[in-house]
């Protein structure tokens, strides 16, 4: 969820942002520059129903300074939002004026000259972006090709470079980034958000190395990335009517199905389950989920045809082994879809 920008502060000081929070939007009036003290920010430029990723800034880096040196514009040229929890030092332009006025004239001229050259370079880059980057009406932040590449990098690096201990596989995130950004040319902001999404879904666990304070990722089984990658790659080649589509409501239905199957006997990978009880559960809690929402599970072969007894109770045979294998993929893909929808809405 993207939160509104905080009110502009004219005095210098420290500001904190939560993940997803906007620091400023393109076109906003500029009265301060910032130094990232902790965390990561992304710079982007909205375009159509999507946006152009500009950069990811980390601890020690500066943003918002060009508006101070640009004599023709006092507005933001890009938007900035937090990727992680962020602490930033805000320095007002009033404070900068006082500092600049105290400088030797020759040093002040040098700073202004360098700033002017950088501003002109930025203008040329912006012109190239406007001429070369296009967005269609079906724009997605995470395209299928992006997902396949990132999952491939994660699988390869974890399999070849990670350390296995106590039933988990551990890998320094900097090693993954070397492959992802420098070799596979994956957009850094997309890589950061993809990792955060995996963490939110508890597919990976993020921690910090006590020795060098770098980020460490761990997963129970690296083959999870390969299973996801094969699924996404297969779905890309299918016609729409052949693709596995599980709605968010059907996903919640499947969660209850898996819970109910835990206490039932499994025969040849299958379980006989009365699903009327699950429908009743959703009705009692007024969750707006009905038997119709389970249709996607039938289409995906997670269950067989419905059976009704003389008391109108509905049962079916659940392919529980297949469902347990595929459900992490379903949950992951639905999470990606929600993320894409939020990105489109936030930048449209």
Q: Residue 135's pLDDT is what?
A: 41
Residue 103: pLDDT over 60: yes
79-82, strands of its sheet edge to edge: 22-24, 79-82, 41-47, 50-57
| Cβ atoms within 10 Å, residue 243 | 13
Confidence of residue 151 (pLDDT cuts 50, 70, 90): very high
Answer yes or no: are the C-beta atoms of 80 and 43 closer than 8 Å: yes
pLDDT in tens, 288-344: 999 999 999 998 999 999 999 888 899 999 999 999 999 999 999 999 999 888 877
pLDDT in tens, 211-270: 777 889 999 999 999 999 889 888 887 887 788 889 999 999 999 999 999 999 999 999
Residue 47: pLDDT over 90: no
Bridge partner residues of 79 (DSSP): 44
**161 burial via Cβ count (<10 Å: 0-12, 13-18, 19+):** middle
Half-sphere exposure of 125 (CA within 13 A, CB side): 13
d(CA 60, CA 200): 26
The overall pTM is greater than 0.85: no
**171 burial via Cβ count (<10 Å: 0-12, 13-18, 19+):** buried
d(CA 292, CA 273): 17
Three-state SS at 31: coil
């Amino acid at each position: 969820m993207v939160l509104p920008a905080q009110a502009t502060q004219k005095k210098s000081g420290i500001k904190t942002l939560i993940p997803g929070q906007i620091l400023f939007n393109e076109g906003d009036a500029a009265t301060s520059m910032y130094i990232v003290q902790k965390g990561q920010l992304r710079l982007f430029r909205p375009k159509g129903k999507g946006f152009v990723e500009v950069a990811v800034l980390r601890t020690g880096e500066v943003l918002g300074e060009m508006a101070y040196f640009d004599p023709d514009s006092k507005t933001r040229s890009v938007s900035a939002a937090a990727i992680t929890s962020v602490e930033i030092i805000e320095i007002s332009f009033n404070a900068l004026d006082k500092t600049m006025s105290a400088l030797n004239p020759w040093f002040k001229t040098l700073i202004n000259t360098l700033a002017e050259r950088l501003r002109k370079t930025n203008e040329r880059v912006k012109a190239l972006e406007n001429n070369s980057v296009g967005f269609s009406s079906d724009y997605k932040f995470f395209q299928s090709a992006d997902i396949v590449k990132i999952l491939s990098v994660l699988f390869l690096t974890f399999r070849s470079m990670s350390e296995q201990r106590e039933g988990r596989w551990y890998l320094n995130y900097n090693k993954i980034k070397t492959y992802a950004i420098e070799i596979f040319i994956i957009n850094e902001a997309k890589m950061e958000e993809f990792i955060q999404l995996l963490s939110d879904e508890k597919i990976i666990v993020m921690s910090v190395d006590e020795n060098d304070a770098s980020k460490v990722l761990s997963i129970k089984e690296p083959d999870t990335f390969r299973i996801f990658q094969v699924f996404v790659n297969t779905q890309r080649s299918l016609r729409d009517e052949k693709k596995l589509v599980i709605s968010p409501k059907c996903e919640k239905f499947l969660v209850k199905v898996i819970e109910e199957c835990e206490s039932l006997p499994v025969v040849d990978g299958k379980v006989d389950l009365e699903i009327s009880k699950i429908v009743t559960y959703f009705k009692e809690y007024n969750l707006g989920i009905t038997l119709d929402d389970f249709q996607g599970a039938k289409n995906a072969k997670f269950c067989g045809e419905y059976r009704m007894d003389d008391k109108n109770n509905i049962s079916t045979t659940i392919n529980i082994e297949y469902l347990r294998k595929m459900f992490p993929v379903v949950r992951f893909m639905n999470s990606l879809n929600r993320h894409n929808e939020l990105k489109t809405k936030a930048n449209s």
